[in-house]
Amino acid sequence: MTAIKESSTIQENKLYNRSECPVIYVMDKIGGYWKPVILFHLLKGGKRYNELRKLIPTITEKMLIQNLKQLEADGIVRREAKAVVPPYVTYYLTTAGEGLRPVLYAMASWALEDQQNTKGAPAKQLKDFPA
Amino acid sequence: MTAIKESSTIQENKLYNRSECPVIYVMDKIGGYWKPVILFHLLKGGKRYNELRKLIPTITEKMLIQNLKQLEADGIVRREAKAVVPPYVTYYLTTAGEGLRPVLYAMASWALEDQQNTKGAPAKQLKDFPA
DNA sequence: ATAGATACACACTTTAGGGTAAGTACTTGT
DNA sequence: ACAAGTACTTACCCTAAAGTGTGTATCTAT
Protein backbone atom coordinates (compact mmCIF):
# COMPACT_ATOMS: atom_id res chain seq x y z
CA MET A 1 0.00 0.00 0.00
CA THR A 2 1.53 3.21 -1.20
CA ALA A 3 5.06 1.92 -1.60
CA ILE A 4 7.73 4.33 -0.43
CA LYS A 5 11.19 4.72 -1.79
CA GLU A 6 14.13 4.01 0.46
CA SER A 7 16.69 6.74 1.01
CA SER A 8 15.14 9.84 -0.42
CA THR A 9 15.97 13.06 1.36
CA ILE A 10 12.39 13.52 2.38
CA GLN A 11 12.33 10.15 4.10
CA GLU A 12 15.54 10.87 5.93
CA ASN A 13 14.08 14.13 7.16
CA LYS A 14 10.94 12.38 8.32
CA LEU A 15 12.99 9.89 10.26
CA TYR A 16 15.17 12.52 11.81
CA ASN A 17 12.32 14.77 12.78
CA ARG A 18 10.08 12.03 14.06
CA SER A 19 12.58 11.18 16.75
CA GLU A 20 13.42 14.81 17.45
CA CYS A 21 10.00 16.39 17.45
CA PRO A 22 6.96 14.91 19.16
CA VAL A 23 4.65 16.96 16.99
CA ILE A 24 6.00 15.38 13.85
CA TYR A 25 5.55 12.03 15.53
CA VAL A 26 1.88 12.78 15.99
CA MET A 27 1.54 14.13 12.47
CA ASP A 28 2.96 10.91 11.11
CA LYS A 29 0.21 9.01 12.86
CA ILE A 30 -2.83 11.22 12.52
CA GLY A 31 -1.70 13.50 9.71
CA GLY A 32 -3.02 13.52 6.20
CA TYR A 33 -6.43 14.79 5.30
CA TRP A 34 -8.60 11.90 6.30
CA LYS A 35 -7.25 10.37 9.48
CA PRO A 36 -8.43 13.21 11.71
CA VAL A 37 -11.88 13.02 10.22
CA ILE A 38 -12.06 9.29 10.78
CA LEU A 39 -10.84 9.62 14.35
CA PHE A 40 -13.32 12.42 14.88
CA HIS A 41 -16.16 10.05 14.11
CA LEU A 42 -14.70 7.14 16.02
CA LEU A 43 -14.55 9.32 19.12
CA LYS A 44 -18.31 8.98 19.19
CA GLY A 45 -17.98 5.22 19.35
CA GLY A 46 -17.19 2.17 17.23
CA LYS A 47 -18.37 2.36 13.64
CA ARG A 48 -18.82 -0.12 10.84
CA TYR A 49 -16.94 0.36 7.62
CA ASN A 50 -20.06 1.39 5.78
CA GLU A 51 -21.14 3.69 8.53
CA LEU A 52 -17.89 5.57 8.17
CA ARG A 53 -18.41 5.80 4.44
CA LYS A 54 -21.75 7.43 4.93
CA LEU A 55 -20.50 9.72 7.65
CA ILE A 56 -17.70 10.89 5.38
CA PRO A 57 -19.39 11.15 1.98
CA THR A 58 -16.46 12.65 0.12
CA ILE A 59 -13.91 10.02 1.06
CA THR A 60 -13.16 7.31 -1.46
CA GLU A 61 -13.15 3.66 -0.46
CA LYS A 62 -9.48 3.43 -1.18
CA MET A 63 -8.64 6.27 1.17
CA LEU A 64 -10.94 4.92 3.83
CA ILE A 65 -9.44 1.45 4.15
CA GLN A 66 -5.95 2.72 3.52
CA ASN A 67 -6.21 5.06 6.45
CA LEU A 68 -8.00 2.54 8.61
CA LYS A 69 -5.23 0.03 7.94
CA GLN A 70 -2.57 2.55 8.84
CA LEU A 71 -4.37 3.58 11.99
CA GLU A 72 -4.69 -0.07 12.89
CA ALA A 73 -1.00 -0.68 12.24
CA ASP A 74 -0.19 2.30 14.45
CA GLY A 75 -2.29 0.87 17.24
CA ILE A 76 -4.81 3.66 17.19
CA VAL A 77 -7.84 1.72 16.02
CA ARG A 78 -8.87 -1.88 16.50
CA ARG A 79 -10.65 -3.94 13.86
CA GLU A 80 -13.30 -6.44 14.80
CA ALA A 81 -14.76 -8.69 12.14
CA LYS A 82 -17.67 -11.04 12.62
CA ALA A 83 -17.36 -14.21 10.55
CA VAL A 84 -20.62 -13.72 8.70
CA VAL A 85 -21.76 -12.99 5.19
CA PRO A 86 -22.12 -10.23 4.24
CA PRO A 87 -19.11 -9.12 6.29
CA TYR A 88 -19.65 -7.21 9.49
CA VAL A 89 -16.55 -5.23 10.43
CA THR A 90 -16.40 -2.65 13.16
CA TYR A 91 -13.61 -0.23 13.99
CA TYR A 92 -12.97 1.04 17.48
CA LEU A 93 -10.44 3.35 19.05
CA THR A 94 -7.82 1.60 21.13
CA THR A 95 -6.62 3.00 24.43
CA ALA A 96 -3.94 4.88 22.54
CA GLY A 97 -6.61 6.16 20.21
CA GLU A 98 -8.71 7.36 23.11
CA GLY A 99 -5.63 9.13 24.35
CA LEU A 100 -5.88 11.38 21.34
CA ARG A 101 -9.09 12.88 22.62
CA PRO A 102 -7.40 15.79 24.42
CA VAL A 103 -5.30 16.40 21.34
CA LEU A 104 -8.29 16.56 19.04
CA TYR A 105 -10.14 18.69 21.55
CA ALA A 106 -7.31 21.16 21.86
CA MET A 107 -7.25 21.41 18.09
CA ALA A 108 -10.99 21.84 17.86
CA SER A 109 -11.22 24.60 20.41
CA TRP A 110 -8.33 26.49 18.84
CA ALA A 111 -9.93 26.13 15.43
CA LEU A 112 -13.28 27.41 16.61
CA GLU A 113 -11.76 30.40 18.28
CA ASP A 114 -9.53 31.15 15.32
CA GLN A 115 -12.40 30.85 12.86
CA GLN A 116 -14.37 33.39 14.83
CA ASN A 117 -11.48 35.79 15.16
CA THR A 118 -10.61 35.64 11.49
CA LYS A 119 -14.25 35.98 10.52
CA GLY A 120 -13.84 32.94 8.36
CA ALA A 121 -16.43 30.30 7.63
CA PRO A 122 -19.30 30.25 10.14
CA ALA A 123 -18.02 28.48 13.22
CA LYS A 124 -19.35 25.07 13.99
CA GLN A 125 -20.62 24.81 17.54
CA LEU A 126 -18.35 23.11 20.01
CA LYS A 127 -21.22 20.99 21.22
CA ASP A 128 -21.17 19.21 17.87
CA PHE A 129 -17.83 17.78 18.83
CA PRO A 130 -18.28 14.27 20.22
CA ALA A 131 -18.35 14.08 23.97
CA MET B 1 4.56 30.02 -4.23
CA THR B 2 3.60 26.44 -4.89
CA ALA B 3 0.81 27.17 -7.30
CA ILE B 4 -2.32 25.13 -6.77
CA LYS B 5 -4.73 24.06 -9.38
CA GLU B 6 -8.25 25.37 -9.26
CA SER B 7 -11.07 22.87 -9.12
CA SER B 8 -9.34 19.60 -8.49
CA THR B 9 -11.23 17.11 -6.38
CA ILE B 10 -8.59 17.31 -3.73
CA GLN B 11 -9.08 21.05 -3.32
CA GLU B 12 -12.83 20.69 -3.11
CA ASN B 13 -12.41 18.13 -0.39
CA LYS B 14 -10.06 20.36 1.50
CA LEU B 15 -12.54 23.19 1.34
CA TYR B 16 -15.43 21.02 2.39
CA ASN B 17 -13.56 19.42 5.25
CA ARG B 18 -11.97 22.58 6.49
CA SER B 19 -15.36 24.06 7.25
CA GLU B 20 -16.79 20.80 8.53
CA CYS B 21 -13.97 19.55 10.68
CA PRO B 22 -12.01 21.74 13.06
CA VAL B 23 -9.15 19.30 13.06
CA ILE B 24 -8.67 19.66 9.33
CA TYR B 25 -8.78 23.39 9.84
CA VAL B 26 -5.86 23.13 12.19
CA MET B 27 -4.00 20.75 9.94
CA ASP B 28 -4.34 23.21 7.09
CA LYS B 29 -2.60 25.80 9.19
CA ILE B 30 0.05 23.87 11.04
CA GLY B 31 0.25 20.72 8.91
CA GLY B 32 3.09 19.77 6.66
CA TYR B 33 6.43 18.59 7.91
CA TRP B 34 8.07 21.83 8.85
CA LYS B 35 5.46 24.13 10.35
CA PRO B 36 5.25 22.25 13.64
CA VAL B 37 8.99 22.29 13.98
CA ILE B 38 9.14 26.02 13.34
CA LEU B 39 6.35 26.70 15.79
CA PHE B 40 8.09 24.48 18.28
CA HIS B 41 11.10 26.75 18.24
CA LEU B 42 9.10 29.96 18.19
CA LEU B 43 7.33 28.85 21.35
CA LYS B 44 10.61 29.55 23.10
CA GLY B 45 10.50 33.13 21.86
CA GLY B 46 11.03 35.27 18.77
CA LYS B 47 13.75 34.11 16.44
CA ARG B 48 15.66 35.61 13.57
CA TYR B 49 15.52 33.97 10.18
CA ASN B 50 19.06 32.72 10.46
CA GLU B 51 18.55 31.50 13.99
CA LEU B 52 15.76 29.31 12.77
CA ARG B 53 17.98 27.98 10.01
CA LYS B 54 20.57 26.91 12.51
CA LEU B 55 18.01 25.48 14.89
CA ILE B 56 16.57 23.37 12.09
CA PRO B 57 19.65 22.25 10.19
CA THR B 58 17.86 19.95 7.75
CA ILE B 59 15.37 22.49 6.46
CA THR B 60 16.10 24.21 3.18
CA GLU B 61 15.84 27.96 2.82
CA LYS B 62 12.99 27.60 0.41
CA MET B 63 10.94 25.57 2.85
CA LEU B 64 11.77 27.88 5.70
CA ILE B 65 10.54 31.13 4.16
CA GLN B 66 7.70 29.38 2.38
CA ASN B 67 6.38 28.10 5.66
CA LEU B 68 7.06 31.35 7.47
CA LYS B 69 5.13 33.23 4.82
CA GLN B 70 2.20 30.86 5.09
CA LEU B 71 2.20 31.06 8.88
CA GLU B 72 2.29 34.82 8.57
CA ALA B 73 -0.58 34.85 6.10
CA ASP B 74 -2.54 32.65 8.50
CA GLY B 75 -1.92 35.09 11.31
CA ILE B 76 0.10 32.67 13.37
CA VAL B 77 3.44 34.42 13.20
CA ARG B 78 4.36 38.08 12.93
CA ARG B 79 7.32 39.35 10.96
CA GLU B 80 9.36 42.29 12.16
CA ALA B 81 12.02 43.74 9.93
CA LYS B 82 14.49 46.40 10.93
CA ALA B 83 15.38 48.72 8.06
CA VAL B 84 19.06 47.99 8.20
CA VAL B 85 21.67 46.32 6.05
CA PRO B 86 22.33 43.47 6.37
CA PRO B 87 18.65 42.72 7.02
CA TYR B 88 17.47 41.98 10.52
CA VAL B 89 14.20 40.10 10.51
CA THR B 90 12.61 38.50 13.52
CA TYR B 91 9.63 36.19 13.65
CA TYR B 92 7.30 36.03 16.62
CA LEU B 93 4.18 34.11 17.44
CA THR B 94 1.00 36.16 17.35
CA THR B 95 -1.71 35.76 19.95
CA ALA B 96 -3.30 33.14 17.75
CA GLY B 97 0.07 31.43 17.49
CA GLU B 98 0.45 31.42 21.24
CA GLY B 99 -2.97 29.85 21.41
CA LEU B 100 -1.50 26.81 19.74
CA ARG B 101 0.62 26.07 22.78
CA PRO B 102 -1.95 23.77 24.40
CA VAL B 103 -2.40 22.02 21.08
CA LEU B 104 1.29 21.38 20.64
CA TYR B 105 1.56 20.33 24.26
CA ALA B 106 -1.29 17.86 23.99
CA MET B 107 0.40 16.41 20.93
CA ALA B 108 3.75 16.23 22.64
CA SER B 109 2.50 14.47 25.72
CA TRP B 110 0.57 11.95 23.67
CA ALA B 111 3.61 11.32 21.52
CA LEU B 112 5.88 10.76 24.48
CA GLU B 113 3.48 8.35 26.08
CA ASP B 114 2.87 6.53 22.84
CA GLN B 115 6.56 6.23 22.09
CA GLN B 116 7.13 4.62 25.46
CA ASN B 117 4.21 2.25 25.13
CA THR B 118 5.18 1.12 21.68
CA LYS B 119 8.80 0.75 22.75
CA GLY B 120 9.74 2.85 19.75
CA ALA B 121 12.60 5.30 19.51
CA PRO B 122 13.96 6.39 22.89
CA ALA B 123 11.56 8.98 24.25
CA LYS B 124 12.65 12.56 24.44
CA GLN B 125 12.07 14.04 27.86
CA LEU B 126 9.07 16.29 28.25
CA LYS B 127 11.23 18.89 29.97
CA ASP B 128 12.93 19.50 26.64
CA PHE B 129 9.68 20.90 25.37
CA PRO B 130 9.68 24.70 25.67
CA ALA B 131 7.89 26.06 28.67
C1' DA C 1 -29.91 -17.37 -12.13
C1' DT C 2 -29.29 -13.09 -10.98
C1' DA C 3 -29.09 -8.99 -8.27
C1' DG C 4 -27.70 -6.89 -3.99
C1' DA C 5 -25.04 -6.11 0.09
C1' DT C 6 -20.38 -5.77 2.49
C1' DA C 7 -15.60 -5.07 2.91
C1' DC C 8 -12.18 -4.82 0.67
C1' DA C 9 -7.88 -5.13 -3.39
C1' DC C 10 -5.29 -3.44 -7.33
C1' DA C 11 -3.62 -0.87 -11.27
C1' DC C 12 -3.30 3.65 -13.06
C1' DT C 13 -3.28 8.85 -13.09
C1' DT C 14 -2.98 13.41 -11.09
C1' DT C 15 -1.53 16.93 -7.87
C1' DA C 16 0.75 19.36 -4.31
C1' DG C 17 4.45 19.29 -1.29
C1' DG C 18 9.03 19.08 -0.72
C1' DG C 19 14.06 19.12 -2.58
C1' DT C 20 18.06 21.12 -5.54
C1' DA C 21 20.51 24.67 -7.14
C1' DA C 22 21.32 28.99 -8.43
C1' DG C 23 20.71 34.07 -8.27
C1' DT C 24 19.40 38.93 -6.14
C1' DA C 25 20.01 43.41 -3.31
C1' DC C 26 22.42 46.16 -0.40
C1' DT C 27 25.99 47.51 2.61
C1' DT C 28 30.29 46.76 5.46
C1' DG C 29 35.00 45.22 6.02
C1' DT C 30 39.72 44.47 3.86
C1' DA D 1 37.85 45.45 -6.13
C1' DC D 2 35.87 41.92 -3.99
C1' DA D 3 34.30 38.74 -0.52
C1' DA D 4 30.95 38.15 3.08
C1' DG D 5 26.64 38.45 5.51
C1' DT D 6 21.38 38.47 5.55
C1' DA D 7 17.01 37.50 3.92
C1' DC D 8 15.06 36.16 0.52
C1' DT D 9 13.42 34.62 -4.86
C1' DT D 10 12.96 31.81 -8.85
C1' DA D 11 13.04 27.87 -11.95
C1' DC D 12 13.01 23.10 -12.33
C1' DC D 13 12.54 18.16 -10.75
C1' DC D 14 10.89 14.17 -7.96
C1' DT D 15 8.02 11.73 -4.84
C1' DA D 16 4.24 10.47 -1.93
C1' DA D 17 -0.37 11.28 -1.08
C1' DA D 18 -4.71 11.44 -2.89
C1' DG D 19 -8.20 10.36 -6.63
C1' DT D 20 -10.39 7.16 -10.47
C1' DG D 21 -12.08 3.00 -11.80
C1' DT D 22 -12.75 -1.65 -11.81
C1' DG D 23 -12.69 -6.34 -9.78
C1' DT D 24 -13.38 -10.00 -5.98
C1' DA D 25 -15.58 -13.38 -2.45
C1' DT D 26 -19.51 -14.95 -0.12
C1' DC D 27 -24.05 -15.50 1.10
C1' DT D 28 -29.17 -14.10 0.96
C1' DA D 29 -33.31 -12.81 -1.17
C1' DT D 30 -36.24 -12.87 -5.28
Is residue A44 classed as helix, strand or coil in its secondary structure? coil
Cα–Cα–Cα angle for B8, B10, B15, nearest 5°?
100
Average pLDDT, whole number, for chain A?
Answer: 85
Q: Is residue B20 part of a domain?
A: yes
Put simply, the answer to whether A111 touches B25 (Cβ < 8 Å) is yes
CA A19 to mean position of chain CA atoms: 21
The nucleotide closest to A86 (CA, C1' atoms) = C6
Flag whether A2 is in a domain: no
Distance from CA of B86 to the nearest CA of A (A): 30
Asked whether residue A76 is domain-assigned, the answer is yes
Query: What is the least distance, in Å, from the CA of B87 to any CA of chain A?
Result: 29
Average pLDDT, integer, range A14-42: 82
Residue B1 lies in a domain: no
What average pLDDT score do residues B25-50 get?
A: 92
User: What's the CA gap between A78 and A71, in Å, rounded?
Assistant: 8
State which of A36-40, B1-5, B11-15, B17-21 shows the largest mean pLDDT: A36-40
Domain housing A70: 9-128
> pLDDT band at B23, cuts 50/70/90?
confident
Q: What residues have CB less than 8 Å from B76, skipping those under 6 apart? A: B29, B30, B39, B93, B94, B96, B97, B100
User: Between A16 and A101, where is the model more confident?
Assistant: A101
Facing residue for A103 by CB, picked from B39, B106, B122: B106
Cβ contact A13:B32 at 8 Å: no
In a domain, A92, yes or no: yes
Residue B4 falls inside a structural domain: no
Of B124 and A40, the structure prediction assigns the larger pLDDT to A40
Average pLDDT value for residue range A77-94:
95
Rounded to whole angstroms, the Cα distance separating A29 from A39 reads 11
Query: Structure pTM?
Result: 0.83
Predicted local distance difference test score (pLDDT) of residue A46? 97
pLDDT tens profile A36-85: 999 989 999 999 999 999 999 899 999 999 999 999 999 999 999 999 98
Given a cut of 50, is residue A123 above it in pLDDT?
no
Is B63 a domain residue?
yes
Q: Which of A92-101, B25-34, B109-118 has the highest mean pLDDT?
A: A92-101
* Distances A81 to A68, A72, A93 between C-alpha atoms, Å: 14, 13, 15
- Please give the tally of structural domains in chain B: 1
What band does B13 get if pLDDT is binned at 50, 70 and 90? confident
Closest CA in chain B for residue A124: B20
Q: What percent of chain A has pLDDT over 70?
A: 78
Task: List the CATH number of the domain containing B106.
Answer: 1.10.10.10
Cα B38 to Cα B33: distance, rounded to the nearest angstrom: 10
Is residue B3 domain-resident?
no
